[in-house]
Chains A and B, each alone.
Chain A
Amino acid sequence: MEHLSEQDLVLLAFGEAETDFGADHEVREHLRSCDRCTNELETLRHVVELGRESGSYRGTAPTPPPSVWDGIAHELALPTPGDPPAEKLEFPSAPRARGQRSRRRWLIAASIAAAAVLGTGAGVLIGRATADRPPASATTSSAALAPVSPDGPAEAAGTATVTRGPDGATLTVATAHLPLQQGFYQVWLYDQTANKMVPIGTLDGAGQGTFTLTPSIDLRSFNVVDISAQQLNGDPAHGSSMLRGALTQ
């Protein structure tokens, strides 16, 4: 038995009479004898009905007020930007290559620069940038983040470092001279070949962040770190790229 095409079923679900299947009575006749097409049409009609009803919510507030997130963060005692550091800066005791040392220096310099810009205590930044890092961790790759035109200001800069420790890979991002804005900065890993982006986390108020990477992210393909400016409007889509850089070994 020949069935109605998906296209025809969709048109029927919207209440259109014109289908490729044939005349109206042929369609009705087929539906009387075909459970498969009848069930499919019923499901599509339900979705169309919901779609029509959803119109009454158009224009409703797209995001909860900021007090809702504040309440969540308070109730769960989540760390917020500006919290005192959990621990003081501690350099790993394992010997490090010269390149790593200079990168670390740069990171601290960037932290301090960001602190100066954003008016936050430098101790907070350094504490945050190094918190939870196992002493034995080794830098596996890093990226210098450069401004992306047209939104990334020329003076903005940053570094991203991937370290591997006993608990998996960690991405540490430090930025400086990102402009203050209403929204927040989101860190993404970007697979250029597949043009896919994975959101990793949000930078704190000082432009820093340390994120545990899930083992399912393959850093060989997701090898570009991207920092985007996001609006607090509930839209999870990637905002404007501000900084970007490719991870290299």
Chain B
Amino acid sequence: MTTGSPSPGDVDDLAARFPGGDEWLLRTVYDRYGGLVHRVASAVLTNDGDADDVTQAVFVDAWRARQSFDPQRGSLGGWLLSIARRRCVDRLRSRQRENRDVLAAAGQRPQPDDRADPERIIEQMVIADELARLSDGQRTVLELAFFDDLTSPQIAALTGMPLGTVKSHLRRGLAQLRRRWEVDRGTPE
């Protein structure tokens, strides 16, 4: 039997329990956010080995600093992503230093780093993560609008849903993505 996904209240509950939780709770938090943190790190660092290391470091940092997490001040996801951002930026900087040293040794000038902006990647990943959590109807409609660039009448024609349903899926789905983005995009430290 499948009873559907836990309601958003459970995420709040995880956050409330985290500062005083035991190691089983860390596993639950990892199961909830490990994939997201790892995807962010992979996209920012474009290197799987580095992404693994950063993901490990993020959860180790989070566990050691769990007492300092205050659920009143922000979401657990946003807090973890702010740790991930810091860890990713550290890793990028140390890579740049290495590159500079290598290039300097070879007598070349370093090129400007045009890698994607970590802030933007985090925002995109938070949206991608929430998109995957929407109800089937909302997700289908939003994916057709985002990735296939279809208008609501086109989506209605394609899926056979009434136009009003398509529009309300768009509205509710987008509202949910926005809420998650507002909560979890975090703020640079």
The bracket for how many chain A residues form the interface is 35 or more
We find that the number of chain B residues with CB closer than 8 angstroms to chain A is 63
Q: Are A237 and B16 in contact (CB under 8 A)?
A: no
Nearest residue in A to B6 (C-beta to C-beta)?
A197
Query: A181 on the interface (CB 8 Å rule)?
Result: no
Contact assessment for A48 and B146 in the assembled complex, using a CB-CB cutoff below 8 Å: yes
Contact with A along B120-134 (1 / 0, CB 8 A): 100111011001000
State whether A57 touches B16 (Cβ < 8 A): no
Indicate the member of B20, B25, B51 with the most A CB atoms within 10 Å. B25
Q: Tell me, yes or no, whether B26 is within 8 Å of chain A by CB.
A: yes
CB A151 to nearest CB in B, in angstroms, measures 7
Q: A76-B23, A148-B1, A234-B31 are in contact. Are A196 and B10 (CB under 8 A)?
A: yes
Q: Is A63 interfacial (CB 8 A cutoff)?
A: yes
Residues in A neighbouring B20, C-beta threshold 8 A: 214
Bound: A240/B1 CA distance, A: 5
Residues A61 and B147 in contact, CB atoms below 8 Å apart: no
Q: Say yes or no: A236-B9 contact (C-beta < 8 A), given A51-B127, A63-B38, A72-B30.
A: no
Q: CB-CB contacts of B1-18 with A at 8 A, as 1s and 0s?
A: 111111101100110110
A54:B23 contact, CB within 8 angstroms: no
A25 beta carbon closer than 8 Å to chain B: no
Question: B55 near A44 (CB under 8 angstroms)?
Answer: no
What CA separation (Å) do A102 and B124 show in the bound complex?
55
Answer whether A64 and B35 are a contact pair too, CB < 8 Å, given A50-B181, A54-B128, A54-B131.
yes
Q: Which residues of A contact B (CB under 8 A)?
A: 6-7, 10-11, 13-14, 16, 18, 43-44, 47-48, 50-58, 60-65, 67-69, 71-72, 75-76, 78-79, 148-151, 186, 188, 190, 195-202, 209, 211-212, 214, 216-217, 226, 230, 234, 236-241
